[in-house]
Chain A
C-alpha cells in the first residue's frame, strides 16, 4: 500500500508565523501535490512537483512556497501565516490516481 505521511494532524499558529508542513511518501512517485480543502470549494491545488527540485504553481500559490530536496519529501511553507490560510491541507502523490496523506488541519489565530 502507498503510504503518504503528513507531519501533523492539527496545528495552531499565530498570524505572521512561518509555517512548515511536511509530507513524505514511500512509493518512489515522481509527482507530489499540495492541496487545500475548504467547505463548498473542494480541493484546490496550491503547488505540485514532478521531480526533485522541480515545482510548478497550481491554482492558488499566493502566500505559499514549496521545497522538494528529496524525491520522497515535499514541503509546503506558509511564509507569513494569515487567518485566511486556516484550512485543511492535503498532500498527495501519484498520477493518474492520487493517494492522499491524512491531512493537516491548520488554524491561524
Chain B
C-alpha cells in the first residue's frame, strides 16, 4: 500500500465552482501534513500546512481527519489560475527527515 494516496483526477470545473478532494495516508503516527501546488513543468510549491483543527487561507480550506487518516482540500470560487496539480505531503514524527508525497490530484478550471 502506498504511504500517501490521492485521486489523480482530473477534476474539471467551471470558474466560480467549488472543488474538493481528499488524500489518505497509511502511517497513523504521522505528525505533519501539507498541500503543495505544482504547475505544469514547474517545481512543487507549498500551498498550505494542514492543522488539526482545520485551517483556511483565502479561498482554500484544509481539513485533517486523524481517525480516518485523510486530509482534504477545498477550493471555493475557483479561478483559472487554480489549474494545477495538488500534492498531498505527509511527514511522520517531528524528527523524521522523510516527507511522503502523493502522486497528485489534477484540477482544471475552465472559463
Contacts and interface: CB of A to CB of B under 8 A. Distances in A.
Interface of A: 31, 35, 40-45, 48, 50, 56, 58, 90, 95-103
A42 B102 CA distance: 6
B4 interface: yes
Interface of B: 4, 8, 32, 34, 41-46, 49, 87, 89, 91, 94, 97-99, 101-104
Contacts of B4: 42
Nearest to B99: A98
B8 A40 contact: yes
Contacts of B89: 98
B42 A102 contact: yes
A100 B43 contact: yes
A60 to B, nearest CB: 12
Given A58-B98, A100-B45, A102-B43, A42 B104 contact: yes
A31 B8 contact: no
Given A44-B101, A96-B99, A98-B44, 12 more contacts: A31-B97, A42-B102, A42-B103, A45-B98, A45-B99, A50-B97, A90-B43, A96-B32, A97-B46, A98-B89, A99-B46, A102-B42
Given A96-B91, A100-B43, A100-B45, A40 B103 contact: yes
26 contacts: A31-B97, A40-B8, A40-B103, A42-B87, A42-B102, A43-B44, A43-B87, A44-B101, A45-B99, A48-B98, A50-B97, A90-B43, A95-B91, A95-B99, A96-B32, A96-B34, A97-B46, A97-B49, A98-B44, A98-B46, A100-B43, A100-B45, A102-B42, A103-B41, A103-B42, A103-B43
